[in-house]
Amino acid sequence: MLAAARRATGVRGAGFVETEAQRIVLRTEGQRLTPTELGEAVLAHREGAVVRLRDVANVLNAPEPKVGDGAIDGHPGVLLVLSSQFGENTEEVTEAVERALDEMAPAFASERITLHPALFRPASFVQTAIDNVTRSLLLGGVLVAVVLFVFLFDLRTAFISLTAIPLSLLGAVIVLDRLGLTLNTLTLGGLAIAIGEVVDDAIIDVENIFRRLRENRARGAPRPASEVVLEASLEVRSAVVYATFVVALVFVPVLTLSGLQGRLFAPLGIAYILAVLASLVVAMTVTPALSLALLAHGLGDGAEPRFILALKRQYRRFLGGLTSRPALVLGATLALCLGAVATLPFFGGSFLPDLREGHFIVHMSAVPGTSLRESLRVGAAVAEDLLRSPHIRSVAQQIGRAEKADDTWGTNYTEIHVDLRPLSGQEAEAVEDEIRRALTKFPGVYFSMRTFLAERIEETLSGAGAQVVVNVFGDELGVIDETAREIARVLSRVAGAVDVQVASPAGTPEMIVRLRPERLKQFGFRTLDVLDAVQAGYQGAVAGQTYEGSRVFDVTVILDPADRRDPESVGGLLLRNDAGLRIPLGELADIYPATGRASVLHFATRRRQVVTCNVRGRDPASFVAEARRRIRAEVTFPAGVYPAFAGVTEARARAQRQLLLHSSIAGAGIGLLLWLVFKSFRTLTLVLANLPFALVGGVIAAFVTGGWLSVGSLVGFVTLFGITMRNSIASFPCWRRPS
């Protein structure tokens, strides 16, 4: 039958006929292009009797056997996943795709296709994040303006200082563009962090100019305003320059982070450093010029605002009380700093804070070997339950895999995309709890749930889309499977564990067909011929291709679906040898049921099994620490089998070590720079003495915000130390010349 189908659909070239003046190409047309024509192909001819292909087979148009399926809101559907090229702008690509879909809307309508264009739209998260950072940037600018006006109490000085913000940020953006970086969440975050710093140089400069102009006006014979402005600006120039370069050096360790954490925070650090350096240029050029233009005249009576004078009086009284008790102040300070250091080991840790993306990916794993139909049924029930929530916009189900997909999922595995309506942070957290409660209604099925970006980060870090990953290495699959199951049982008993799963479970049902060489020899069958027949019967064998315009169709020989539903009927598959002898497959092979696995995981040539879980209600760092202790105490590892933890906690620890090491090196460089400037150990010690106070403030801030230290928090500490160093240098009295 396979040979007959091949002969009926074959295409051959025919050559040409060449006359004295022409070459005429011969084109043969005999291929059977339609099911009806193909059914008329002659299979056998004996004594005038003809057996056609349609006499022994059903010849019809039909789909290929599915290896995956999809559903949208519980109804049959097709999920189309579009990926942008590396380095492309997500928003631009998304908008271009949506324009193309809008143009195709009439074609969809004519074919009665209902399009769901935003089952998962990463650009929405990008836009929301950028809007939030932009709003924070604007709010920070407004707050800086209010503070400047309140404390300087002069619109002109506040205006001069504020000009540093747009000019510095604009300069940083121009350089970012030249470097090939875009304005994204990370670079905007760096600019937002720097917004309080970019105005600092200008404030120091304009405040000193303002003070010197007031003093000059109070003199009997005032000097020219241009001379006063120049001297006042030069008076604090060294402080501004050195303080700015110290801030830039403090942030260098962030740029040296390796791996994913480096890719995440390096753009933020670059934007921050560029903004701070741009503010230095503005303070050295624009600020003095504006001060001369706006402050040279009309300074009033030269008196400071009353509330500033009152604040100074209170500060002098408070400072006098402190300086009269130096031992008490130093003792209390030391105790406070030691207390802050002592609390650090008790803080929780995570790689990144939880991201509110407005979209969840629910992974559903049924028993290995579950059919597409059953996975669809369970998925439809899950979708129906989830869609009862008014906060959920859509539920899309992807079962198994596409034919040429990167993932090798079985039909028992499903990804469910749950898209939420716009919600606040607390509402999104409540919806996550609601979804988890709904999933508990489906026993016998394992679920795990993560946001898309968090899962991609976790996959990049450990190869598995989960916060905690335990790799179990060994040689014997059965042994490492049993050890992995024991680890999973231990993890499930650790407080905070959710979504505990073994990544590649055994138990996939199989029907083994083991050929018997002596029987093949006895009946005259060749091994490969038998294997080809089994493949054609149950997987399908492509005999040829037919064409309809520009569309290509495979001509496939396969058993009828009704004959492929009963695994016990495999032994009844009839085979024929070259002599025409017909014999069932069961006479040539041992056929028996068994269990296997869909995939065997490896890493660095070693077999492995993977146990994954997520953490809910506590920080991942303390969870992993407890899990390590309990696994060591409760799990017995056979010879040659050992575990290895991976995931976000390991990445956080690696980033923490790098930051501490690189910060130590940068600190040594900063200390050397300050030593060259001050030439005094006592002065250097006084400047560095402020760093412990920054640690106390940072610890209090971390405690108030939840008591977790992520990589972002560590970057915040780096920023805080830089600001502290800057304030110490800029306020040190040795920079100012006597008036």
624 closest CA partner among 467, 462, 449, 431: 467
Return the amino acid letter for 677. Answer: V
CB 553 within 8 Å of CB 478: no
- Report the mean per-residue pLDDT for the chain: 84
288 closest CA partner among 247, 235, 243: 235
Lowest mean pLDDT among 173-177, 514-518, 524-528, 691-695: 691-695
Residue percentage of the chain with pLDDT more than 70: 97
Q: Which residues contact 660 (CB under 8 A, 6 or more apart)?
A: none
In this predicted structure, what is the pLDDT of residue 586? 93
Distance between CA atoms of residues 599 and 413, nearest Å: 13
In this predicted structure, what is the pLDDT of residue 731? 63
Q: Is 243 in a helix, a strand, or coil?
A: helix
Q: Which residues contact 200 (CB under 8 A, 6 or more apart)?
A: 243, 279, 726, 730
Residue percentage of the chain with pLDDT more than 90: 21
In this predicted structure, what is the pLDDT of residue 738? 43
466 backbone dihedrals φ, ψ, rounded to 5°: -155, 160
Q: How many other C-beta atoms lie within 10 A of the C-beta of residue 175? A: 17
Q: Is 583 in a helix, a strand, or coil?
A: strand
Report the chain's C-alpha Rg in angstroms. Answer: 37
Torsion angle of the four alpha carbons 186, 187, 192, 193, in this order, in degrees rounded to the nearest 10: 80
Phi-psi region of 368 (alpha: psi -120 to 50; beta: other; left: phi over 0): beta
Average pLDDT (594-616) is 86
62 closest CA partner among 564, 532, 687: 564
Residues in the chain: 739
Token pair for residue 172? 């940083």
- HEC string of 394-452 equals EEEEEEECCCCCCCCCCCCEEEEEEEECCCCHHHHHHHHHHHHHHHCCCCCCEEEEEEH
642 backbone dihedrals φ, ψ, rounded to 5°: -150, 155
Range from 74-88, 488-502, 677-691 that averages highest in pLDDT:
488-502
Strand partners, 610: 471
Over residues 389-411, the pLDDT tens digits come to 999 999 999 998 877 777 778 88
Distance between CA atoms of residues 179 and 270, nearest Å: 10
Distance between CA atoms of residues 46 and 64, nearest Å: 34
CB 515 within 8 Å of CB 507: no
Strands (E), 466-527: 468-474, 497-502, 508-515
Angle at Cα 473 formed by Cα 469 and Cα 478, nearest 5°?
A: 110
Distance between CA atoms of residues 281 and 285, nearest Å: 6
Average pLDDT (86-92) is 83
Kindly tell me if the per-residue pLDDT of 489 is higher than 90.
yes
DSSP state, residue 593? E
DSSP state, residue 63? P
Over residues 521-574, the pLDDT tens digits come to 999 999 999 999 999 999 889 888 888 778 888 899 999 888 888 888 999 999
In this predicted structure, what is the pLDDT of residue 6? 83
Instruction: Say how many CA atoms lie within 13 Å of 430 toward its Cβ.
Output: 8
If you write DSSP's letter for every residue of 268-313 in order, what string do you get? HHHHHHHHHHHHHHHHHHHHHHHHHHHHSS--TT-PPPHHHHHHHH
Q: How many other C-beta atoms lie within 10 A of the C-beta of residue 317? A: 9
Residue with tokens 């120091």: 204
The residue that leads in pLDDT, 36 or 598, is 36
Strand partners, 17: 24
Distance between CA atoms of residues 361 and 433, nearest Å: 14
- Helix 225-235 and helix 259-295, axial crossing angle in degrees, nearest 10: 160
In this predicted structure, what is the pLDDT of residue 739? 40
Confidence of residue 387 (pLDDT cuts 50, 70, 90): very high
Confidence of residue 214 (pLDDT cuts 50, 70, 90): confident
Give exposure, 488-517, as e/b (b: 16+ Cβ within 10 Å): bebbeebebbbbbbbbbbbebeeeebeeee
Return the amino acid letter for 353. Answer: P
Domains and CATH numbers, the chain: 2-56 (no CATH), 127-324 (1.20.1640.10), 509-596 (3.30.2090.10)
Over residues 673-718, the pLDDT tens digits come to 778 777 778 877 877 777 777 778 778 877 777 677 788 778 888 8
Phi-psi region of 298 (alpha: psi -120 to 50; beta: other; left: phi over 0): left
Q: Is 723 in a helix, a strand, or coil?
A: helix
Distance between CA atoms of residues 574 and 1, nearest Å: 13
Angle at Cα 657 formed by Cα 469 and Cα 723, nearest 5°?
A: 125
Average pLDDT (230-236) is 83
Confidence of residue 250 (pLDDT cuts 50, 70, 90): confident
Angle at Cα 453 formed by Cα 450 and Cα 459, nearest 5°?
A: 75
Distance between CA atoms of residues 165 and 18, nearest Å: 83
Token pair for residue 225? 């305003």
Kindly tell me if the per-residue pLDDT of 726 is higher than 80.
no
In this predicted structure, what is the pLDDT of residue 139? 84
Helix/strand/coil percentages in the chain, nearest 5 = 55, 15, 30
Token pair for residue 608? 């492995």
DSSP state, residue 611? E
The residue that leads in pLDDT, 302 or 580, is 580
Q: How far, CA to CA in Å, does 641 sit from each of 205, 225, 329, 637?
A: 66, 81, 57, 6
CB 447 within 8 Å of CB 634: no
Distance between CA atoms of residues 433 and 65, nearest Å: 38
CB 718 within 8 Å of CB 667: no
Q: How far, CA to CA in Å, does 507 sit from each of 368, 485, 594?
A: 6, 13, 9
How many Å separate Cα 457 from the centre of its chain?
4
